[in-house]
Amino acid sequence: MKKLIVLATLAALPAAAMADVTISGNLAVGIVNTKATGKGSVNTENRTNGEIKFAGSDDLGNGLKAVWQIASRINLSAQSDNARDNLWAGRDSYVGLDGSFGRVTAGNIYLMPNSGAMAIFENNSATFESAVYDQGTRYNNTVSYKAPTVAGFSATVQHSFGSSSANEQAKQYADAVSLAYEIGAVSLSYDNLSEKLNAQGQKNKLHELNASVGLDALTLQAGYATGKNQSTNTKVKGWGVAASYAMGNVTPKFGYWREGDSKTNGATANDGHKAYALGVEYALSKRTRTGVELAKANFDAPATADKRTATVYLGTKF
């Protein structure tokens, strides 16, 4: 009997040690039909949204906590062309400190944390062909500082030391500054990313603005983005709107994005496009949903094939 008590006690220790760990995730699979002008359509089973996350904290006393997170992107499809799919700690994974001063974390962290607010669709939003919107990058070797929220305002400053390289002058690094304001159902955000491209110090710069307002069941969003590649001296900008309306378990969604022609050394290229997205989602429960989506990009240049995707999906959260 004593042996059984000891074994039961030992078996309970790991559970007690893990009591402050939160496990959450989101899994979905979609059947996607993709078609480009002049070509036949292709059907695929694709990851529409997938992530598993482990997070926890340790109370150090005096209002100070150690925090950590390991997040991985999950693709339930048999094949994947994305190296980040199913990669352990491939999404925001870090360790840090949280206190009255704010939060400092270090690890594999996404720069531009407020970007992509218009990506309200499960698979392809209207921005799916954009070269500038929601183009922030997740970097290893990143330190992030988020200041305490004051009167609805928050600020985040991030720096990536870049990947290891024998040539320190060529080492790529990145800096980002994000500002956000939220009061009630209104939110505004600005994200800026600066990435070093080469040993000459030329950079790729992205700026993104987002606004959102909730009016009971109706949510309206607007976004603007601009980018400049200093190595090619190319500039691109775009803007868009999105909306969703919850009617009980049914939520129709709409998105529009207009990307202007790029300019290189002052010369304008005919490479802009317009994109649309329509979708309807049905909540089977608080955690499980299903839906259909249609997204299409129409390019200004006649020689560039327009692209259309249609998706039927099923997903659940835990």
Q: What are the tens digits of pLDDT across the range 30-81?
A: 999 999 988 888 888 877 778 999 999 999 999 999 999 999 988 877 555 5
Q: Is the pLDDT of residue 18 over 50?
A: no
pLDDT at residue number 162: 78
Type of residue at 19: A
Q: Are 199 and 169 in contact (CB under 8 A)?
A: yes
pLDDT above 90 covers a percentage of the chain that reads 75
Quick check: helix, strand or coil at residue 12?
helix
pLDDT at residue number 5: 44
Q: Is residue 140 classed exposed, middle or buried when 0-12, 13-18 and 19+ CB atoms within 10 A define those classes?
A: middle
Domains and CATH numbers, the chain: 24-52+111-317 (2.40.160.10)
Among candidate residues 142, 120, 107, the one with its CA nearest the CA of residue 280: 120
Give the residue-averaged pLDDT of 89-116.
Answer: 94
Q: Are 151 and 138 in contact (CB under 8 A)?
A: no
Give the residue-averaged pLDDT of 267-296.
Answer: 97
